[in-house]
Amino acid sequence: MTARRFALYAGIGIAIYLATLAVTIPAPWAGSALERISGQRLQLREPAGSLWAGSGRLYASPRAGPLRELGVLRWRTSWAGILGARLAVDVTLGTSKPAVVLLSPGGAAIRGVDLMLPARIIASFVPEFDSFGPGGQLRLRSDDMRFDRDSILGLAELEWRDVQLARMPGIGLGSHVVRLRGAGGKVNIELATIDGPLRLSGSGTWTRSAGLSLSGAAEHDAQSAPAFAAFLTGMCPRYRGNRCTFQIRQ
């Protein structure tokens, strides 16, 4: 047997071994990876299947209190691009449309995201919101976002629909949207209102080195003043004339 033929057979054997290994690795490994990547904010329970194709119940972990179920997470990997060092994973959460996660040595991309989530999940990622008791629905949409080591490219929108806060019982705050534009080394942020009595506007940026820098305003008309005045006065030192201006740096 020539050295060239031996190398070919060895390469095929290694590829078959790696494919078999990936197919047989149990789904709990995926759950462990998800918890690590999310900083323990997400947990996968009742995992079944393997890294190739599996499912489990996805939960958000609040700072205090019980886990919050988000739905059944399902995934299926396509090995069509493995020779090009690229994997495509179809991911579905609950009844949402499947999204495609593309993994490569250089980074990752997410395509076709359209998720509906309960707004209470906000408190799992921003603990300061927990005391406000966020309610309503979140909708995350993105046609294509790419994440490399030092850059983020693409567009995404996060809508918060029918905003409710437990600290303002019975008062609807409308629906609002955060638009994100990945521009390489930074993410540009725009705040806007879809509808409702509270009008939100603002802009800012996020970078790995400087963090979040955001400024804007929340305002309402005079007719809504009795409902909003006490709340905004207590949480916004710059509340004047039915308008609250804010600056956030983290």
Name which of 86, 89, 138, 145 is nearest 113 in CA terms.
145
pLDDT of residue 187: 93
pTM of the model: 0.78
R_g of the chain, CA atoms, integer Å: 23
Calculate the average pLDDT of the chain.
80
Give SS3 for 149.
Answer: coil
Across residues 204-229, what is the average pLDDT?
84
CA distance 113 to 140: 7
pLDDT digits (tens, 9 = 90+) for 145-191: 998 878 899 999 999 999 988 877 878 888 999 999 999 889 999 99
pLDDT of residue 17: 43
pLDDT digits (tens, 9 = 90+) for 6-15: 444 444 444 4
Domain locations along the chain: 1-104, 106-250
pLDDT digits (tens, 9 = 90+) for 32-84: 777 777 777 888 888 888 777 888 898 888 766 678 888 898 988 876 656 55
